[in-house]
Amino acid sequence: MPAPAKLNLMLHILGRRADGYHELQTLFQFLDYGDELTFALRADGQIHLHTDIRGVPHDSNLIVRAARQLQRQANCPLGADIWLNKRLPMGGGIGGGSSDAATTLLGLNHLWQLDWPEDRLAELGLSLGADVPVFVRGRAAFAEGVGEKLTPIELSEPWFLVAIPQVLVSTVEIFSDPELTRDTPPIKVRSLLEGGGHNDCLPVVQKRYPEVRNALILLNKFVQARLTGTGACVFGSFPNKDDADKVARQLPATLPSFVAQGRNISMLHRKLEIMAKK
């Protein structure tokens, strides 16, 4: 089952709530590139992730946490063996961990035949991370609140070149920076689609992470470079794959990258639709 990446095409910070979380406006689109998970049924109720991710203990992995939460809340006696093909860089702002969690929820909902509706899975997902619900829904969306109020949206589906600065950006660190601007006035989706939108995290991320600043300078030579989420990844959009590939070939080896197409429906949901028809 695919666990696609996302991009934040823009990210405005409107304010900070009493619990420390930030009020955002952001535009999510999926990429046709991501991790892959494999699930096999276990009758003994155990959850085993057979792939190690460096720096993430088994029980803290969002895949295991998502599986255990679903199992507990659904009171399900079944378990699962899980394998992960990790392609997405961690702490990259392209949502790898959140997407893995969402794929686990939808994958096990299917495998365990729980028949939970999407609303309930999205609600459980939100308790695992602010970005999980959009992956559960699988539709490009304008997000508000802390990222959980989703309005599906039809965007053009350009090709993106995503460059991966070799540094892990901590989301918590960026959101707790006193210099972060938190007073962008709310805007309507319509004005966004007419152009405009920026990423309020950019100044703080650039200042703290020279690797990200350098990547932006490099990519800006070819295309208008943007930051996704709190970084570290930076990206630019292109009308076709060839143009994106051409620029990718000109980036130095110290700045790895990939090319993928923007998608309004996530690959996970396409796959689930195909499985439902069988």
Ligand X SMILES: C[C@@](CO)(OP(=O)(O)O)[C@H](O)COP(=O)(O)OP(=O)(O)OC[C@H]1O[C@@H](n2ccc(N)nc2=O)[C@H](O)[C@@H]1O
- How far is 38 from 92, CA to CA, in rounded Å? 23
Q: Which of 35, 131, 200, 243 is catalytic?
A: 131
From ligand X, ligand ADP, none, interface partner of 24 (C-beta below 5 to 8 A by class): ligand X
* Residue numbers 212-241 binding ligand ADP by CB under 6 A: 229
Q: Binding of ligand ADP at residue 211 (CB under 6 A)? A: no
Q: Binding of ligand ADP at residue 79 (CB under 6 A)? A: no
Q: Binding of ligand ADP at residue 98 (CB under 6 A)? A: yes
In the complex, minimum distance from the CB of residue 23 to ligand X, in angstroms, rounded to a whole number:
7
CA 116 to chain centroid: 22
Task: Tell me the residue nearest to ligand X as measured from the CB.
Answer: 229
From the list 113, 108, 109, the residue with the least C-alpha distance to 80 is 108
For the question of residue 188 being annotated catalytic, the response is no
Please tell me whether 91 is known to bind a ligand: yes
Please tell me whether 96 is known to bind a ligand: yes
From the list 167, 275, 173, 261, the residue with the least C-alpha distance to 216 is 167
Q: Is the peptide bond before 232 cis (omega within 30 degrees of 0)?
A: yes
From the list 176, 163, 159, the residue with the least C-alpha distance to 263 is 159
Please tell me whether 97 is known to bind a ligand: yes
Applying CB under 6 A, among 14, 74, 90, 223 the residue interacting with ligand ADP is 90
Q: Binding of ligand ADP at residue 56 (CB under 6 A)? A: yes
Closest to ligand ADP by CB, 85 vs 240, is: 85
Please tell me whether 170 is known to bind a ligand: no
Residues with Cβ within 8 Å of 175's Cβ and at least 6 positions away in sequence, in order, are: 20, 22, 230
Q: Could you tell me the two tokens for 13?
A: 């910070």
148, with CB counted inside 10 A (0-12, 13-18, 19+), is middle
Q: Binding of ligand ADP at residue 61 (CB under 6 A)? A: yes
In the complex, minimum distance from the CB of residue 86 to ligand X, in angstroms, rounded to a whole number:
16
Q: Could you tell me the two tokens for 29?
A: 């689109």
Q: Binding of ligand ADP at residue 93 (CB under 6 A)? A: yes
Residue 127 DSSP label: H
Q: Could you tell me the two tokens for 6?
A: 């996302």
Closest to ligand X by CB, 79 vs 138, is: 138
Q: Which of 6, 35, 200, 243 is catalytic?
A: 6
For the question of residue 246 being annotated catalytic, the response is no
Please tell me whether 266 is known to bind a ligand: no
Binding residues for ligand X, rule: CB under 6 A, are 8, 20-22, 24, 26, 93, 95, 98, 129-131, 146-147, 171-172, 175, 229-230
Give the count of alpha carbons within 13 A of 278, CB side only: 6
Q: What are phi and psi of 149, to 5 degrees?
A: -85, 105
Q: Write out the catalytic residue numbers.
A: 6, 131
